[in-house]
């Protein structure tokens, strides 16, 4: 494992890399940081170089000039330049998807694949989507963060892990500054890389009905819906999440010599499982 802190314009960005091969970036959501991806590293790092990082103000990163979301894409560009990665697969969860989408608009030639997970950040809402999202925003505004991000069937210990890891963040949804530049969903299409929308059917922050409408606007993209989970598919259903991403990487031809380690492949054992 390689790790370090990159000093960028107005921030210090903590990062880790694990594994070797074509690079995969995991961009966390607003309640998370690099540590929440513990269920993905084992599967993805077998044939890829997995890049984890903390957005400025989260985890071990520092937002020195207070720009928040305004600088997320700039920070990711600086990090990938520092790591010498010219072309990467982007996996964005919730807020992190806004970072990945912004990067994809700015540098499409550097994108091998894009996964938009439980998110519509950085995408202009049509009238129909806005109506669904306005209702969701009103309904979830006063909800506890754990109730927002985890489905009703999530185990209690998962909620505890989430709270413990998020406690290291200096910012949250109430005080995060800046904003993502929103562009029409259709602008994502036609760039030569596969685009996946992945969403939990019980997501209360980005309802599946809104995600379906947006995905339909992105020509050539596809949608994977995961039943019985909420806003955090990667936490609640890690095997389904990982297998879907591994298939995306294969589709993009962005897999190293070891081959993708799907759950039906000898050697892939979910973290914490039995060999």
Residue 260 lies in a domain: no
∠ CA 264-90-163, nearest 5°, is 80
Contacts with 72 (C-beta within 8 Å, 6 or more apart), sequence order: 55, 56, 98, 99, 102, 178, 180
At residue 137, the 3 state secondary structure works out as helix
Helix, strand, coil content of the chain in percent (nearest 5): 35, 20, 45
Residue 240 lies in a domain: yes
Q: Is the pLDDT of residue 271 over 70?
A: no
Q: What is the pLDDT of residues 67-124, one digit of tens each?
A: 999 999 999 999 999 999 999 999 999 999 999 999 999 999 999 999 999 999 999 9
Contact indicator for 263, 34 with CB cutoff of 8 Å: no
The span from the CA of 241 to the CA of 225, in Å, is 10
Q: What is the pLDDT of residues 24-66, one digit of tens each?
A: 999 999 999 999 999 999 999 999 999 999 999 999 999 999 9
The span from the CA of 75 to the CA of 72, in Å, is 5
Number of Cβ within a 10 Å radius of residue 131: 13
> Range of 205's domain?
2-251
Per-residue tokens: 8: 């960028």
Contact indicator for 248, 115 with CB cutoff of 8 Å: yes
Of 57, 97, 111, which is closest to residue 203 (Cα–Cα)?
A: 97
Contacts with 186 (C-beta within 8 Å, 6 or more apart), sequence order: 217, 218, 219
Residue 266 lies in a domain: no
Q: Average pLDDT of 177-200?
A: 97
CA 269 to chain centre: 22
Q: Is the pLDDT of residue 265 over 90?
A: no
Residue 171 lies in a domain: yes
275: pLDDT confidence band, cut at 50, 70 and 90?
A: very low
Q: Average pLDDT over the chain, rounded to whole?
A: 94
At residue 68, the 3 state secondary structure works out as helix
Residue 112 lies in a domain: yes
Burial class (CB in 10 A: 0-12, 13-18, 19+), 2: exposed
Q: Is the pLDDT of residue 270 over 60?
A: no
Per-residue tokens: 65: 């000039």
Domain count, the chain: 1
- Which pLDDT does position 115 carry in this prediction? 98
How many angstroms separate the Cα of 56 from the Cα of each of 38, 81, 165, 193, 269?
20, 17, 16, 28, 32
Residue 257 lies in a domain: no
Contacts with 193 (C-beta within 8 Å, 6 or more apart), sequence order: 108, 111, 112, 113, 114, 252
Q: What is the CATH number of the domain that holds 86?
A: 3.40.50.1820
Of 129, 113, 97, 134, which is closest to residue 214 (Cα–Cα)?
A: 129
Q: What is the pLDDT of residues 202-234, one digit of tens each?
A: 999 999 999 999 999 999 999 999 999 999 999
Q: What is the pLDDT of residues 137-167, one digit of tens each?
A: 999 999 999 999 999 988 889 999 999 999 9
């Amino acid at each position: 494992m390689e790790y370090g802190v990159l000093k960028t314009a107005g921030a210090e960005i903590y990062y880790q890399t694990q594994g070797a091969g074509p690079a995969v970036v995991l961009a966390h959501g607003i309640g998370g940081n690099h540590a929440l991806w513990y269920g993905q590293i084992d599967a993805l790092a077998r044939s890829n170089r997995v890049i984890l990082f903390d957005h400025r103000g989260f985890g071990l990163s520092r937002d020195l000039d207070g720009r928040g979301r305004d600088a997320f894409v700039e920070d990711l560009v600086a990090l990938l330049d520092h790591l010498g990665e010219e072309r990467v697969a982007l996996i964005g969860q919730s807020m992190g998807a806004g970072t990945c989408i912004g990067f994809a608009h700015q540098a499409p030639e550097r994108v091998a694949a894009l996964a938009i997970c439980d998110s519509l950040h950085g995408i202009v809402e049509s009238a129909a989507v806005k109506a669904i999202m306005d209702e969701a925003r009103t309904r979830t505004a006063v909800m506890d963060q754990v109730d927002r991000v985890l489905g009703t069937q999530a185990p209690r210990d998962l909620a505890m892990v989430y709270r413990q890891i998020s406690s290291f963040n200096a910012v949250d949804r109430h005080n995060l500054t800046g904003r993502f530049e929103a562009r029409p969903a259709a602008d994502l299409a036609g760039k030569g890389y596969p685009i996946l929308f992945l969403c939990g059917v019980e997501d209360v922050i980005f309802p599946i009905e809104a995600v379906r409408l947006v995905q339909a606007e992105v020509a050539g993209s596809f949608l994977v819906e995961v039943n019985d989970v909420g806003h955090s598919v990667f936490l609640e259903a890690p095997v389904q999440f990982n297998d879907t991403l591994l298939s995306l990487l294969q589709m993009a031809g962005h897999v190293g010599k070891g081959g993708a380690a799907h759950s039906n492949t000898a050697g892939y054992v979910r973290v914490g499982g039995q060999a």
